[in-house]
Amino acid sequence: MGRMFLLSLVLINLLLISCKKDKQVYTYSPTPYQLEIPEGFPQMPTNPNNPLTKEGVELGKRLYYDVILSEGGPQAGNSCATCHVQSRSFADNSPGVSVLPHVNLGWGTKHWLWNGSKQGTLEDIMMFEVEDFFQVDVSRLMQDTTYQRMFYKAFGKKEITSKEVAYALAQFVRTLISGNSKYDKYKRGEIDLTPSEKRGMAIFFSERGDCFHCHVPPLFTDFDMHNIGLDSMPADPEDWGLFAVTGDSADLGKFRTPTLRNVALTGPYMHDGRFQTLDEVIDFYSEGVKNSPTLDPIMNHNGGIHLNLTPQEKEDLKAFLLTLTDEEFLNNPAYRP
């Protein structure tokens, strides 16, 4: 009888221990994440509904690289990182494909995607990625105990929705900041540029090249929509740009200004990837711009729409553009899975 009693106690204890193991207790005490904003950069707009935390950023990074986002959806087998590769400044490395790089997007407040079809905050565009692009099946995430724990630690919720998935991705993307290129070091007085790079910079920041009006430093984009004269009368709807969204003829051929940060690595260039190299892009601005009623007024340089750069000026401009490569950003281990 005594043995039976002892045995029962042992079994009950084992059962209790086993139960305890099954019922994991997570704590919700998120740690604020401090962004390091490069010198000279504007303060990054924040979203009071989605404050950055270490737990949120960590979760966002895991999601960014995880194909679970696309399972069962139209992008099955892909994660964000499939098309946004760190070594390419979070742009695409597939031939013939052109995506906007995920760099310094935390400052984006105007138009999103090449044709500006989305507006709003970074959270809004990530919501589009989750619900429309990937069509994330949130239940798959909730079947994963690691995600259960990470979502709870990041948002204090056991039941998650698309919103928490989008918010976590937005938190990680906000940390993708590039601001330590050769150009930045030059601006901080740490190094000097070569004569060719300086001449290229003079072209960039003067009426000779007039690049700065749209590629506004230090982000080298104005996040705005412009028709730079790729086509005079585009027949393919893919080339209509903002017109395909608004139906307003004044928007024909307008596309969002891409950042030039790490531009040497973000090719192919333009919304359709029509230019493979920076040389082709510079040639286009020099001699290839096509006039149209919606060509951006700023493309009307001193009475003409072509820069007509000399071969030396082209080389110099390219040399300057190469100073925007930020090796620290491209190799930052904090961005790796």
Site for other proteins in 117-156 (CB under 8 A): none
Q: Are 13 and 21 spatial neighbours (Cβ–Cβ below 8 Å)?
A: no
Q: Is residue 300 involved in binding other proteins (CB under 8 A)? A: yes
Nearer to other proteins, 156 or 186 (CB): 186
Site for other proteins in 173-232 (CB under 8 A): 202, 205-207, 212, 216-219, 222-223
Instruction: Kindly state the smallest distance separating residue 33's Cβ from other proteins, in Å.
Output: 21
Give the separation between CA 171 and CA 123, rounded to whole angstroms.
Answer: 9
* Residue keyed to tokens 């950003």: 329
Q: Is residue 239 involved in binding other proteins (CB under 8 A)? A: no
- Among 254, 327, 258, 334, residue whose Cα is nearest residue 295: 254
What element of type H or E holds 198? helix 195-204
Fill in the amino acid letter for 119. Answer: Q
Q: Is residue 316 involved in binding other proteins (CB under 8 A)? A: no
Q: What is the DSSP string of 224-273?
A: -EE--SS-SS--SGGG-BTHHHH--GGGTTBEEPPP-TTGGGS-SBSTT-
Instruction: Kindly state the smallest distance separating residue 296's Cβ from other proteins, in Å.
Output: 7
Q: Is residue 297 involved in binding other proteins (CB under 8 A)? A: yes
Q: According to CB under 8 A, which one of 62, 149, 301, 306 is a site residue for other proteins?
A: 301
Nearer to other proteins, 107 or 133 (CB): 107
Q: According to CB under 8 A, which one of 298, 310, 331, 336 is a site residue for other proteins?
A: 298
Helix (H/G/I), strand (E/B), else coil: 91? strand
Q: According to CB under 8 A, which one of 299, 309, 322, 330 is a site residue for other proteins?
A: 299
Exposed/middle/buried for 55, CB within 10 Å: 0-12, 13-18, 19+? buried
Binding site for other proteins (CB under 8 A): 40-43, 107, 109, 202, 205-207, 212, 216-219, 222-223, 248, 250, 291, 293, 295-303
